Chain A
Amino acid sequence: MIPIDTIPPVCRSLTLHCPVEHAFRTFTNAISSWWPLDTHAIDRGRARSAVFEPGVGGRLFERWDDGSEHDWGRVTVWEPPVRVVFDWQPNRERAAPTEVEVRFTPRGEETVVELEHRGWERLGEEGISARGSYEQGWVGVLDRYARAAGGA
């Protein structure tokens, strides 16, 4: 059996020279000012803006040139300015039991930002329905991005 820890969470960390409130607000409310839609979008040709709605239940989505909205996920934890957690499911045709947690920790005049994309261990807990359909986690979630980005 493949041990669960062969697919551990993806973790990334960075330190910013700005206050924690600014870091949190930039990541969330101001996502449209930085999210790289030309490489990270369900349809990078049509995506025009990224939106991060605040509060639990807030949607993350991209808006296309025709105004249509295409969801990436939904906020499950909203704790400004130190923590936000959201489900990650850009391709809604498939179940996506993965989530992303971003923590903002003040350190003097700086802010440490830590992102964790987890939930892959749930791959081992899903089975095949009686109708033979199967919902996968992160792999299904990311294939649309791989297509949009033109491959790794």
Chain B
Amino acid sequence: MDAYVCLDALGDPTRRAIFERLRRGPAAVGELARGLPVSRPAVSQHLRVLREAGLVRDRPSGARRVYSVAPEGLAELRAYVEGFWADALDAFAAAAERSPAEEEETS
């Protein structure tokens, strides 16, 4: 599972809406579909993408399946953001310490 797959999964607005709804608490497919302007089969398809991306998981509850956010997926995304800024700041630090600290008049 990698951050790129996660971000690709969340690149769809409906999937983001589903994910956001699940952040407020677990839900079954029917409940999710009721809150969205898409069909129930479409919701199931979106949930499959999110599950394959490691962002949600499901468990049986009677005859239904209840979906919930998978915290490890969020952790991977967070790690990506951390890495993004770590790399950018490494480059910044190298430039700041490399260039002469002569004070020029700029805006």
Interface residues of A (CB under 8 A from B): 1-2, 6-7, 10, 12, 14, 16-19, 21-23, 25-27, 29-30, 33-36, 39-40, 54-55, 94, 113, 115, 117, 123-124, 126, 128, 131-136, 138-140, 142-143, 145-147, 149-152
Contact = CB atoms under 8 A, between A and B. Distances in A.
State which size class the interface on B falls in.
Answer: 35 or more
B91 A35 contact: yes
A64 B105 CA distance: 28
B63 interface: no
B82 A12 contact: yes
A107 to B, nearest CB: 15
Given A117-B85, A140-B11, A146-B8, 19 more contacts: A2-B71, A10-B82, A14-B89, A16-B96, A17-B97, A19-B101, A19-B103, A21-B103, A22-B99, A26-B95, A33-B99, A36-B91, A54-B107, A132-B36, A135-B13, A138-B81, A139-B7, A146-B80, A152-B3
B2 interface: yes
> SS class of chain B's interface: helix, strand, loop or mixed?
helix
Nearest to A15: B93
A152 B73 CA distance: 13
Interface in B2-30: 2-5, 7-8, 10-11, 13-14, 16-17, 20, 23-25
A152 B79 contact: yes
B38 to A, nearest CB: 7
Given A132-B14, A146-B7, A152 B80 contact: yes
A82 B84 CA distance: 23
Interface string B68-99: 01010010111111111111110111111101
B106 interface: yes
B35 interface: yes
**Which of B37, B101, B106 has the most CB atoms of chain A within a 10 A radius of its CB?**
B101
